Amino acid sequence: MKGKISVLFMAALMVIFGMSTVFAEAGKPNIVILATGGTIAGSAASDTATTGYKAGAIGVNALINAVPEIKDYANVSGEQICNIDSKDMTDAVWLKLADRINELLSKDDVDGVVITHGTDTLEETAYFLDLTIKSKKPVVIVGAMRPATAISADGPMNLLNAVRVAASSQAIGKGVLVAMNDEIDAARDVTKTNTLATSTFKAPELGVLGYIEDGTPVFYRETTRRNTINSEFSVEKVTALPYVAIIYGHADGDKALIDAAINAGVKGIIYAGTGNGSVHKADEAELAKATTLGIVVVRSSRVSNGAVIAAEQSYTNEHFLNGGTLNPQKARILLQLSLLKTHNLTDIQRIFDEY
């Protein structure tokens, strides 16, 4: 009877104080796994199918239960944020994720967060969070290229490794990390490089941060670019992001698309130019028109390596900004967050130089 009463008393305490980890094993970090869908939670009709499956079919608890070894490294709990194919990612999901992660990481009893995610837009979500999470605690994003039902599915080992990284003191203060295929990359630098291969996530230009070496996360370098607690951006109380379009440069140009973007009410344009952010002359006049209307134009590149820096004098005269080494999809996110704060071109160029 006495035992029963003390259990009831403990349960009441847990309800009152929200001490959900009171029974967590001491000594292990408390990691929350936030699931958003993707192939890692995908289910196919056969164990040999690696395309034509439903992404985001399996719930967070099934994902966690499929890898019981996780519990050797951390006390884990799961939350389902959404269950989508990441090709359908939206600002609304990003804002919800950022809010929830900031809330979780402000608690003393949460030591890190792992996010399961589809691979298509994983690098974008990672960079958005890198700029908007206000904590040094580890935030690790992970996905898989093969559905959970496939022979040699890569999801279980990737998930285990992501938890190992999130549980590692070495990961503190390194910004948002991507853990895939035994490698650890910085959110800013990583990109999906192969449509099908499990070794798709690379930071080909600026390099891998570290490896998971036979189960142990080992870091060799870190980014010098501003992120997380050193970021000036906040999305607290933000309900939508400014409309920024990406226009892809190519032979012949296509000024009709730039016109369409202007008419659709964009606040910014990322021009994925040829070479060092080179702008087709047919497009240049249209982009110059955009800047006179107050639309911020940033030159980026369709080339996957190298920085976009100042080039033609006419670009400077037309107030086009330089996108640096960010790929167009990440330049879009940085410009969206910049436009929440400022429309001053000097300030926005400073942001592109620092992040």
Which tokens sit at 47? 């164990």
Rounded Cα gap, residues 314 and 354, in angstroms: 24
Stretch that binds ligand ASP, among 113-121, 126-134, 224-232, 289-297 (CB under 6 A): 113-121
Residue whose CB is less far from ligand ASP, 196 or 293:
196
Rounded Cα gap, residues 340 and 283, in angstroms: 26
- Among candidates 189, 164, 159, which has minimal Cα distance to 176? 189
Residue number, nearest CB to ligand ASP: 118
For residue 55, the minimal CB distance to ligand ASP (Å) is: 4
Stretch that binds ligand ASP, among 65-73, 74-82, 83-91, 242-250 (CB under 6 A): 83-91
Q: Which of 119, 191, 300, 322 is the binder for ligand ASP (CB under 6 A)?
A: 119
Residue whose CB is less far from ligand ASP, 120 or 183:
120
Burial of 88 (0-12, 13-18, 19+ CB in 10 A): middle
Residue whose CB is less far from ligand ASP, 86 or 135:
86
| 87 counts as binding ligand ASP under rule CB under 6 A | yes
Confirm if 179 and 161 have CB atoms less than 8 A apart.
yes
Q: What count of Cα atoms within 13 Å lies in the side-chain half-sphere of residue 20?
A: 13
| 145 counts as binding ligand ASP under rule CB under 6 A | yes
Q: Which of 33, 53, 74, 120 is the binder for ligand ASP (CB under 6 A)?
A: 120
Q: Which of 75, 86, 125, 301 is the binder for ligand ASP (CB under 6 A)?
A: 86
| 38 counts as binding ligand ASP under rule CB under 6 A | yes
User: Applying CB under 6 A, what is the total number of residues that bind ligand ASP?
Assistant: 11
Which tokens sit at 2? 């006495």
Q: Which helix (H) or strand (E) covers residue 113, if one does?
A: strand 112-116
| 126 counts as binding ligand ASP under rule CB under 6 A | no
| 147 counts as binding ligand ASP under rule CB under 6 A | no
For residue 176, the minimal CB distance to ligand ASP (Å) is: 17
Looking at residue 352, its amino acid is F
Confirm if 97 and 124 have CB atoms less than 8 A apart.
no
Confirm if 56 and 85 have CB atoms less than 8 A apart.
yes
Residue with tokens 């009463």: 5
Rounded Cα gap, residues 355 and 347, in angstroms: 12
Looking at residue 288, its amino acid is A
For residue 110, the minimal CB distance to ligand ASP (Å) is: 26
CA distances from 60 to 63, 76, 86, 117, 182 (A): 5, 11, 16, 11, 22
Torsion of CA 151, 152, 153, 154, to 10 degrees: -170
| 36 counts as binding ligand ASP under rule CB under 6 A | no
| 318 counts as binding ligand ASP under rule CB under 6 A | no
Q: Which of 29, 78, 143, 328 is the binder for ligand ASP (CB under 6 A)?
A: 143
Residue whose CB is less far from ligand ASP, 192 or 280:
192
Residue whose CB is less far from ligand ASP, 145 or 335:
145
3-state secondary structure of 354: helix
Residue whose CB is less far from ligand ASP, 87 or 221:
87
For residue 144, the minimal CB distance to ligand ASP (Å) is: 6
| 81 counts as binding ligand ASP under rule CB under 6 A | no
State the distance between the two ends of the chain, measured CA to CA, in whole angstroms: 61
The beta strands (E) that lie in 173-277 are given as 177-180, 183-186, 191-192, 201-202, 210-213, 216-219, 244-248, 268-273
For residue 117, the minimal CB distance to ligand ASP (Å) is: 7
For residue 329, the minimal CB distance to ligand ASP (Å) is: 13
Q: Which of 75, 85, 210, 295 is the binder for ligand ASP (CB under 6 A)?
A: 85
Which residues are annotated as catalytic?
39
Using CB under 6 A, list all residues that contact ligand ASP: 38-39, 55, 85-87, 118-120, 143, 145
